[in-house]
């Protein structure tokens, strides 16, 4: 089977863009302020809890998948076989360095992926899955996303004359949702006030 490494690079770029979108969505919703977190809990706690869990899971799984090794997997390792890379020793060295750095940045999530997300390790799930999650996970997720983007850019700039600088998730979508939730909260507060006033009468 003849592989099209231009398509492989594009597919990897799409995967990274998706992870960046997940991260920006999560940060816009859950990392904004304590007031917003409370609004989400008061409005639909179960729904937003599940959304938060989904985004964390997809981020951890996606970062680990991209930095796996394996001949028949769509991972950053495939970039080492790109003809433009194999024919340029300096570029090959740079790409190897960037891929190794990306792998190292994603390693803190690998135990959680192996023992909790991809498989249900018995001991881990009985004693608490929190032990598999790295300290300061938000910072480590952000670092891992940047490291993966750097690996893509090592080829993108040299071969395609373009770089990947992340995805700008349309924050208006989140802000529109928040405004609706705030309006619903004001309505609930008004109803509660009316009921209280009616009871006093």
Number of domains in the chain: 2
Instruction: Provide the whole-model pTM.
Output: 0.85
**Same-domain pairing of 80 and 32:** yes
Look at residues 103, 58, 62 and name the one whose alpha carbon lies nearest to residue 79.
103
**Same-domain pairing of 111 and 163:** yes
**Same-domain pairing of 175 and 79:** no
- Determine the structural domain holding residue 115 and report its residue range: 5-169
The torsion angles phi and psi of 194, rounded to 5 degrees, stand at: -65, -40
The crossing angle, in degrees rounded to 10, of helices 89-106 and 34-66 is 130
**Same-domain pairing of 72 and 146:** yes
**Same-domain pairing of 61 and 77:** yes
**Same-domain pairing of 93 and 183:** no
pLDDT at residue number 168: 63
pLDDT by residue, tens only, the chain of 201 residues: 678 999 999 999 999 999 998 998 888 888 778 888 888 988 888 999 999 999 999 999 999 999 998 888 999 999 999 999 999 999 999 999 999 999 999 999 999 999 988 888 998 888 887 788 888 888 999 999 999 999 999 998 888 888 776 666 666 778 888 888 888 888 888 887 877 777 665
Helix (H, G, I), strand (E, B) or coil at 65: helix
**Same-domain pairing of 97 and 194:** no
Integer Cα distance of 113 and 107 in angstroms: 10
The torsion angles phi and psi of 85, rounded to 5 degrees, stand at: -85, -45
**Same-domain pairing of 22 and 100:** yes
**Same-domain pairing of 11 and 96:** yes
The DSSP letter of residue 134 is P
CA dist 191 to 38, 39, 40, 183, 199, Å?
19, 17, 19, 12, 12
**Same-domain pairing of 192 and 162:** no
**Same-domain pairing of 115 and 150:** yes
User: DSSP string covering 108-127, please?
Assistant: GGHHHIIIIISS--HHHHHH
**Same-domain pairing of 77 and 143:** yes
pLDDT at residue number 170: 61
């Amino acid at each position: 089977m003849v592989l099209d490494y231009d398509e492989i690079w594009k597919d990897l770029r799409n995967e990274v863009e998706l992870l960046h979108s997940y991260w920006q969505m999560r940060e816009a919703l859950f990392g904004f302020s304590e007031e917003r977190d409370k609004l989400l809990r008061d409005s639909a706690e179960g729904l937003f809890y599940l959304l938060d869990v989904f985004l964390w899971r997809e981020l951890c799984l996606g970062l680990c998948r991209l930095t796996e090794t394996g001949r028949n997997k769509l991972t950053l390792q495939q970039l080492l076989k790109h003809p433009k890379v194999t024919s340029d020793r300096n570029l090959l060295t740079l790409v190897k360095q960037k891929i190794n750095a990306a792998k190292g940045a994603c390693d803190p999530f690998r135990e959680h992926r192996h023992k909790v997300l991809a498989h249900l390790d018995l001991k881990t799930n009985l004693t608490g899955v929190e032990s598999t999650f790295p300290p300061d996970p938000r910072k480590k997720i952000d670092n891992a996303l940047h490291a993966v983007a750097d690996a893509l850019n090592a080829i993108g700039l040299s071969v395609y004359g373009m770089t990947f600088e992340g995805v700008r998730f349309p924050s208006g979508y989140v802000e529109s949702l928040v405004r609706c939730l705030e309006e619903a909260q004001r309505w609930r507060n008004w109803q509660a006030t009316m009921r209280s006033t009616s009871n006093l009468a």
